[in-house]
């Protein structure tokens, strides 16, 4: 038997709508369905004839589990082929026998990266790893190769027998009880707990099932895997992650935020103004996809330094075998460093990436906008300044838009597109197409001070500053930020992005006549005054900030404790965690309520990819759906009574409750 596909993909996986619909109480019926599917795959691999998977495209999740149930796997050596079990990224585990078969095929240690990290492999890497048996050069050779293998097995009585069904089968690397795996099994749970912080149940269950697969007989291990899969499907974490990372992310990438009836646009020549940290990253990601880049700074030395950043990244790619020398040279040749405005002539898009100063940005717009091509458009990489106000310096405000990247640009997957009041739909469509061209995920928001991501992220830093001023130990505040699920504690990340930058932004806002936007005691201003103004502590790269950075590592600055720490402060740990999380959730709701955010999908994807919202929540708005809207409103009221009006629940939540709706 040969199994192949007439579609571009081999098999994409199970129906995630069914998984979202499953709810507590459905466990028995759901487990029975899972067992039925497993029995069918088990029947497939027990057929008395050899079965071949002829893999023409992506085979992920359930698709790859079908392949694993075949005796022989051959794939086209094409970029379209992607193999793996990425269920962990959706809060699930491979429930069709994927864990058990991978452990029996590769061994426990070799299987774990594919199971715990959702690692995917192209045809070449899959062949080298032992996931498949052979590759062919093109589609026309695929089925003939499968049939040829079957023909070659006429005299082999074991051709239809899976390795794990052979009498005396031994798992590569040993069973779970072997001395070889003793050290791995001793440290793996602790390492996993350090990574997940106990907030993601899927990796823990995957590790448990994988170890049991190396301990139990094959069919018993399959049943254990099915039970664990059933348990995960019912969890809020799985609901959150499926909703956001599959449905909403696909919706965004498919163009839900892009205006209709506007022809696709491709940027061929890009101008980047400012070769600092952001500009050099933008230049690299653009050149990487084949765009010619003019990287301009005030001096040739500064521009060359900006290009050197790309050279370092390319060097690493070559060393890792991900790019050949010819490709490296071609990429770097596409970046033209310059100090001359005239070299920008004919750019389809110019992105300004200079300091957050309105006068400076306006001066650059006035001086260089003239070099755009006739149908070119202008993007500002500002992280906080209103696009409508910046566009006042432009001769064509309808062609002016915010294109906000995140640092480091080469690693961060998100770009926040900001529409000013006069930004045209055509400009928005072109900006959206550019972001997809450089292989990033775009969210689209409307204009306001600090937009969505910077505005919401600042509440995380602000609430932490408030707690330090209240007398809570700074290390407790920082650690509980991580305990909530944020990637970095609020004080640590503030030191990283720099308190000096916050001081400059606050000064810019003050110059614009913007008052403290939260209308309460400005603890952040007090922290900036104490650390930056009085003691010259602007952050990690400015003589330290909240922390000292010395030979002994990172330690809290003693002066902070002397001035603020109150050993008698008895703020409950749960309140600290909720304050750090709820401040951001509430600010996100305000952005949605006021129209800064255009969709729930943009809110969730933007909060995770741009701000670092805890993955298990599915984003700051999806979090409310599984927390419970009425429960959320009640908790907001408790926090507001105890800590201030900034925790007052936005009216949009009550409106949803009255209509018996959730956020979608």
pLDDT tens-digit readout, 625-648: 999 999 999 999 999 999 999 999
pLDDT tens by residue, 488-523: 999 999 999 999 988 888 887 777 776 655 445 588
The pLDDT of residue 399 is: 97
Q: Could you state, in chain order, the average pLDDT of each consecutive group of 10 residues for the chain (664 residues)?
A: 96 89 95 96 96 97 97 96 96 96 96 96 96 96 97 94 94 88 88 92 97 96 97 96 96 94 96 96 98 97 97 94 93 98 97 92 95 96 94 97 96 97 98 98 94 95 96 97 96 94 83 62 88 94 93 92 94 98 98 97 97 96 97 98 96 98 96
- The whole-model pTM stands at 0.92
- Of 384, 602, 582, the C-alpha closest to 486 is 582
Give CA 487 to chain center in angstroms: 11
Contact 441, 251 (CB under 8 A): no
Return the domain boundaries, the chain: 2-234, 269-446, 453-595+628-664
The pLDDT of residue 563 is: 95
pLDDT tens by residue, 281-314: 999 999 999 999 999 999 999 999 999 999 999 9
Contact 349, 434 (CB under 8 A): yes
Q: Is 404 a catalytic residue?
A: yes
The pLDDT of residue 518 is: 47
Domain 453-595+628-664 in CATH 3.90.550.10? The answer is no
The pLDDT of residue 356 is: 86
* CA 203/CA 399 separation, integer angstroms: 46
Q: DSSP per residue over 342-377, as a string?
A: GGGTTEEEEEE---S-HHHHHHHHHHHGGGEEEEEE
Give CA 263 to chain center in angstroms: 29
Owner of token pair 């900030």: 545
Instruction: Output the furthest CA–CA distance in the chain (Å, rounded).
Output: 86
The DSSP bridge partners found for residue 120 are 84
What is the CATH topology of the domain spanning 269-446?
Rossmann fold (3.40.50)
Residue 228 phi/psi, 5° resolution? -65, -40
Q: In this structure, is the dihedral angle defined by the CA atoms of residues 370, 371, 374 and 380, taken in order, positive or negative?
A: negative
CATH class of 2-234: alpha beta
Catalytic residue among 166, 169, 404, 541: 404
Contact 583, 520 (CB under 8 A): no
* CA 518/CA 646 separation, integer angstroms: 7
How many residues comprise the chain? 664
Q: DSSP per residue over 376-401, as a string?
A: EEEEE--SSS-HHHHGGG-S-GGGEE
Give Cα separations from 236 to 34, 355, 618, 632 (angstroms): 20, 42, 9, 15
The pLDDT of residue 109 is: 94
For the record, the structure tokens of 67 come out as: 């392949």
- Of 605, 589, 575, 655, the C-alpha closest to 414 is 605
Percentage above 70 pLDDT, the chain: 99
* CA 109/CA 453 separation, integer angstroms: 39
């Amino acid at each position: 038997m040969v199994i192949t596909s007439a579609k571009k993909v081999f098999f994409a996986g199970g129906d995630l709508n069914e998984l979202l619909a499953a709810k507590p109480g459905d466990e028995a019926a759901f487990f029975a369905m899972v067992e039925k599917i497993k029995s069918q795959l088990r029947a497939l691999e027990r057929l008395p004839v050899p079965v071949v998977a002829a893999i023409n495209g992506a085979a992920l999740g359930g698709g790859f589990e079908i392949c694993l149930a075949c005796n022989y796997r051959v794939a086209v050596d094409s970029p379209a082929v992607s193999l793996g079990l990425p269920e962990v990224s959706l809060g699930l585990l491979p429930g069709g026998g994927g864990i058990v078969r991978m452990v029996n095929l590769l061994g426990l240690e070799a299987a774990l990266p594919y199971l715990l990290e959702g690692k995917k492999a192209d045809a070449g890497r899959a062949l080298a790893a032992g996931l498949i048996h052979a590759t062919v050069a093109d589609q026309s050779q695929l089925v003939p190769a499968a049939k040829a293998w079957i023909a070659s097995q006429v005299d082999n009585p074991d051709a239809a027998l899976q390795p794990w069904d052979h009498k005396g089968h031994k798992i590569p690397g040993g069973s779970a009880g072997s001395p070889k795996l003793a050290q791995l099994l001793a440290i793996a749970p602790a390492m996993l707990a350090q990574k997940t912080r106990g907030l993601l149940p899927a990796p823990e269950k995957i590790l448990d099932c994988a170890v049991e697969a190396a301990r139990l007989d094959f069919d018993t291990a399959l049943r254990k895997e099915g039970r664990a899969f059933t348990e995960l499907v019912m969890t809020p974490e799985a609901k959150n992650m499926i909703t956001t990372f599959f449905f909403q992310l696909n919706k965004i990438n498919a163009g839900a935020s892009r205006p209709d009836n506007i022809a696709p646009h491709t940027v061929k020549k890009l101008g980047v103004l400012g070769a600092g940290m952001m500009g050099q990253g933008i230049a690299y990601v653009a050149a990487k996809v084949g765009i010619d880049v003019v990287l301009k700074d005030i001096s040739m030395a500064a521009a060359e330094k900006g290009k050197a950043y790309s050279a370092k990244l390319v060097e690493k790619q070559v060393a890792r075998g991900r790019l050949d020398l010819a490709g490296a040279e071609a990429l770097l040749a596409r970046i033209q460093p310059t100090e001359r405005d005239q070299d920008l002539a004919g750019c389809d898009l110019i992105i300004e990436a200079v300091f957050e100063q309105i006068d400076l940005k306006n001066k650059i717009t006035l001086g260089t906008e003239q070099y755009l091509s006739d149908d070119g458009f202008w993007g500002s990489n500002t992280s906080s300044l209103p696009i409508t106000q910046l566009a006042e310096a432009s001769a064509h405000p309808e062609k002016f838009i915010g294109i906000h990247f995140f640092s480091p640009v080469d690693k961060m997957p998100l770009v926040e597109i900001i529409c000013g009041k006069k930004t045209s739909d055509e400009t928005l469509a072109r900006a959206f197409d550019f972001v997809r061209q450089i292989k990033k995920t775009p969210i689209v928001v409307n204009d306001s001070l600090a937009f969505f991501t910077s505005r919401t992220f600042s509440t995380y830093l602000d609430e932490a500053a408030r707690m330090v001023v209240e007398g809570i130990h700074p290390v407790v505040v920082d650690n509980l930020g991580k305990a909530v699920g944020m990637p970095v504690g609020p004080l640590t990340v503030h030191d990283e992005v720099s308190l000096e930058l916050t001081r400059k932004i606050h000064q810019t806002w003050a110059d614009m006549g913007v008052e403290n936007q939260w209308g309460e005691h400005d603890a952040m201003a007090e922290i900036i005054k104490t650390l930056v103004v009085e003691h010259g502590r602007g952050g990690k790269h400015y003589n330290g900030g909240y922390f000292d950075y010395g030979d002994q590592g990172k330690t809290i600055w003693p002066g902070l404790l002397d001035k603020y720490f109150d050993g008698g402060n008895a703020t409950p740990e749960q309140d600290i965690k909720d304050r750090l999380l709820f401040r951001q959730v509430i600010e996100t709701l305000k952005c949605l309520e006021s129209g800064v955010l255009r969709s729930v999908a943009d809110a969730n994807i933007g909060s995770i990819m741009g701000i670092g919202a805890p993955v298990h929540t599915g984003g700051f708005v999806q979090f409310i759906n599984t927390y419970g809207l009425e429960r959320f409103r009640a908790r907001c009221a408790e926090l507001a009574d105890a800590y201030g009006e900034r925790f007052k629940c936005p009216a949009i939540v009550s409106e949803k409750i009255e209509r018996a709706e959730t956020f979608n």
